[in-house]
Structure 1
């Protein structure tokens, strides 16, 4: 360790005070300059298992130079060596009180990594980056015939370089993206994804500097943008998710309250194998007055193989480049049958590598092709991690006699009860809520507006390998406004399992979904689009077709039922011009009940 670093660490002691009580309290005083070594020393010097870190109100800067280096597996992000500012591990209880402070981060850093803690509380602070890891520009000219557009990049508060005929960004501390990569078009006035926009991957053939700060980008665009709109790019797909603002792993009794995130180099709040979680009065959105159109690079909140109760209440999530929340388990695939009790399973998606899928004592469901049903249950006796892709699991009892390669396992133990209420989620890419858990789901009293589907139920053992089928869902008393305005066809509620080719594409998957007493005001035709559902109740909803935009898919039905059973559509009210109300195939018609509706 060099002498300069030792001097900084020694100076940090003067700014941190410890109180020796049953719980150690670390009081951090405000000062200018890099706070990373001060926070690091305070955490490393503490020996108590119960600790509270209290910040004097102020604006704090955190640089990567003296952050903790740690190789990290982070689900749905890029694994690798991360620079971590707050590394909090193995506490009986840990609390962070911000007192209204602002935490400004610079460069590639992981702000909070919390692991193996029995109680976690963080309150009352704001997170932002001095320079976002984004390239943002205004569209000036479009020439589809010649295959180019001209844009004027944003400069103040952004970082990018044009070298010869290639553009790179953000060029911070030696890191850059060398292609625009994932790119999306935004409405600059409304600060939301542009009407009819589609995701694009942009790797320009070359870039040309023009006059007055304008550059010309040569590429075959999937969807040419409109002049005056804003293009936002986040770089290559396998590099643009460095870390979430909060990674919480193998922890319990978690409360995040009064936290606002204006930017992050991945998701806002990520939870892995954690339980009893509350996110209350938190916000994820672009700072008011900023010209940015994107907050977090990915989801606002994400839960992978969690259990107990998850509650998200009274929060506002906006401007993210992915979902408001994603709740799911994990499918793994049988790669090898070792003996009568032992298998080797494979984590299939590259963003799952290194994920802790199973622990001793966990119960597992076996999903055996061609049926997607959860059938046999067995308890884990031993786990051997072969490497980041393969895991060897030994069970207490014998495997199913007909188990074969390509079948799936799903962790039965690690599934949560989920409640979302009183939240506003809008002006962002993708879905407001995408969720998969067999336990109780309640989504109530929220305000939603979505680029894609507002609520999507989608178990997937084909690409993302996110389990699984839902069995008890209540979606009630929500207000949906201006939904499914992106270019791809979606619906307010879209139930659509995506399974591998060897699974039965007609077998029922999701069950017992109630969509009731919601108010829907939107221009589009599609309201409910359901595939392979057994038990769907649509009742008491008010649906109003608006004129705020032209229907992107005017020939689509309001209710579209494919391979469904036990569907009831009753006591709904419709005001609009769509005459294509119901499409139901022969399977769905058998036990379909439609009665007491007004307007159709």
Structure 2
């Protein structure tokens, strides 16, 4: 027996030694020269399936000139030819050790594209751009009557010029945006989105030079005008302001990012598509210390599209992004045509989903049949034929439902993850801290959250973005919500559950279920705490809510808890300190099963 155990140990050690010996280790050293071709040549010459890239501590510069040009489908970004620096495909194991080095990118590049890899670990590196794809200035004067505002634009570290009465930026390597485009204002001192700020899409009628480096910008399409003293920031037109994420990981598994910091990117920070088991640990997306930039990255800090297994985001700091802290979702596709008893043609609906791998052979799907938004029959995919980047033909192992019709929805059942976020800090950015849609376990705990819009939003939608689906098991506990929903775009809440379904769907049927919001500490100036629509099973328990005076309430008549078409809601053991008198609003359906008890400082 002992001899057998010893033999087994020796065998394990032998294979471990072989594994270590088989791994190709490549070392890189800091240089003032462009490192793109050095990295590219090293990766392309590797024969092994297991590699480790080690960067000795220092600064590394990456230019687009010798990057790999490859047409890329990138969900929630612009598809097209991309200049990729680190193209890592079909490896068994990839490890990148940065040793706290700084990677500086220039121009339109996609830093990392990682595809079909079985194990990935990236550790201890920082990422930035020498010149951000941004235009910003301090607002010095406003004249709403004459429809202009004046700014003192930032020059050091930015790239732009005034040409034929228009601001041209970033003007790098021949690339420029067609307009100022997506624009938002920020507090100059805190770098927080300005109180009451609105998203704007700007196309200046004309821009004039004024004395002392001031620009006067005329525009008759402005919804609102910026406040004097704020920083106004533009990121360009919608069609081209999301070039690529810092990290795009596709069709891979067992992924770990540890101590990775992103100060700027030309899209999202971390984007995962059809990837299994992901950890982002001790990492960050935020403006570099001492920088006068108003923003960090152009879009979401983290984004997960049709992933599965376990996702963990722990001890991370996300600040200054121009979109959500995290977005976790599947994809709804629309039935375009019934081909036969076992086959259908489906359509990807949003222009930034084109080319996305919605489903694979062996995946299970749900059929969702108008007007009922609930998941219905399950079937297994037997074959997939891609017609083009918008249409896909699916054949199933069993016959499709007899009542399935054009305009109904299909959702991938197989590719949904468990999600945990804990010990994170998310603040000072556009949009929501967390927006999430997965039917599997969701835990959001022990985080520090501050938001321009709703802090946590649960929103599946068969409209516009077509991001599935409804949640079924959510715990939001022991978090600290401070100064939330301070933007001016629309009405929000600390927790907003708000499905966005097309007009053909019944808007009264419950959609999300089993949500627990407990033991959270909330300090905010406005009224709304939980705003829930079409939820079956919502517990609001043990929360401490304190109204602050940091800002004037934007919606002073809104209710603290607002329930629409809900069932089985409990509001118990909460404590409120403040002057709000509009506590709970319900419709007839929600009132039937509502339980309210043992709360302090609020009544019903």
Bin for the TM-score computed over the shorter chain: over 0.9
TM-score normalised by the chain length of structure 1: 0.96
Taking the aligned partners of 1:161 and 1:344, their CA distance within structure 2 comes to 48
Partner of 1:12: none
String of CA shifts for 1:51-105, please: whole Å, max 9, x gaps. Answer: 0000010001000000000000000000000000000000000010000100000
Partner of 2:511: 509
Partner of 1:133: 133
Q: Are positions 1:397 and 2:391 aligned together? A: no
Taking the aligned partners of 1:82 and 1:473, their CA distance within structure 2 comes to 38
Query: Bigger shift: 159-168 or 404-413?
Result: 159-168
Given candidates 556, 560, 563, the residue that maps to 2:562 is 560
Taking the aligned partners of 2:400 and 2:284, their CA distance within structure 1 comes to 46
Taking the aligned partners of 2:324 and 2:494, their CA distance within structure 1 comes to 14
TM-score normalised by the chain length of structure 2: 0.96
Partner of 1:432: 433
SS state at 1:588 partner? helix
SS state at 2:212 partner? coil
Alignment of 1:224-235 (within 5 A): 224-235=225-236
Partner of 2:49: 49
Taking the aligned partners of 2:302 and 2:190, their CA distance within structure 1 comes to 23
Q: Are positions 1:190 and 2:190 aligned together? A: yes
SS state at 1:212 partner? helix
Taking the aligned partners of 1:97 and 1:497, their CA distance within structure 2 comes to 42
Alignment of 1:291-306 (within 5 A): 291-306=292-307
Partners of 1:95 and 1:121 within 8 A in 2: yes
- Tell me how far 1:20 sits from its aligned partner: 9.3
Partner of 1:151: 151
Partner of 2:501: 499
SS state at 2:576 partner? strand
Taking the aligned partners of 2:599 and 2:169, their CA distance within structure 1 comes to 54
Q: Are positions 1:271 and 2:285 aligned together? A: no
Partner of 2:208: 208
Partner of 2:259: 258
Given candidates 571, 574, 583, the residue that maps to 2:573 is 571
Partner of 1:248: 249
Taking the aligned partners of 1:130 and 1:558, their CA distance within structure 2 comes to 45
Taking the aligned partners of 1:540 and 1:141, their CA distance within structure 2 comes to 47
Q: Are positions 1:551 and 2:545 aligned together? A: no
Partners of 1:167 and 1:178 within 8 A in 2: no
Taking the aligned partners of 1:578 and 1:166, their CA distance within structure 2 comes to 48
Taking the aligned partners of 1:46 and 1:57, their CA distance within structure 2 comes to 23
Q: Number of aligned residue pairs: give it.
A: 582
CA RMSD of aligned residues (A): 0.8
Partner of 1:9: none
- Tell me how far 1:278 sits from its aligned partner: 0.2
SS state at 2:371 partner? coil
String of CA shifts for 1:118-161, please: whole Å, max 9, x gaps. Answer: 00000000000000000011101100001001111100000001
String of CA shifts for 1:262-321, please: whole Å, max 9, x gaps. Answer: 000000000000000000000000001100010010000000000000000000000000
SS state at 1:41 partner? helix
SS state at 1:21 partner? helix
Partner of 1:341: 342
Partners of 1:166 and 1:178 within 8 A in 2: no
Alignment of 1:19-418 (within 5 A): 21-220=21-220, 221-418=222-419
SS state at 1:162 partner? strand
- Tell me how far 1:178 sits from its aligned partner: 2.6
Taking the aligned partners of 1:206 and 1:293, their CA distance within structure 2 comes to 24
Give 5+ residue unaligned stretches, structure 1.
1-18
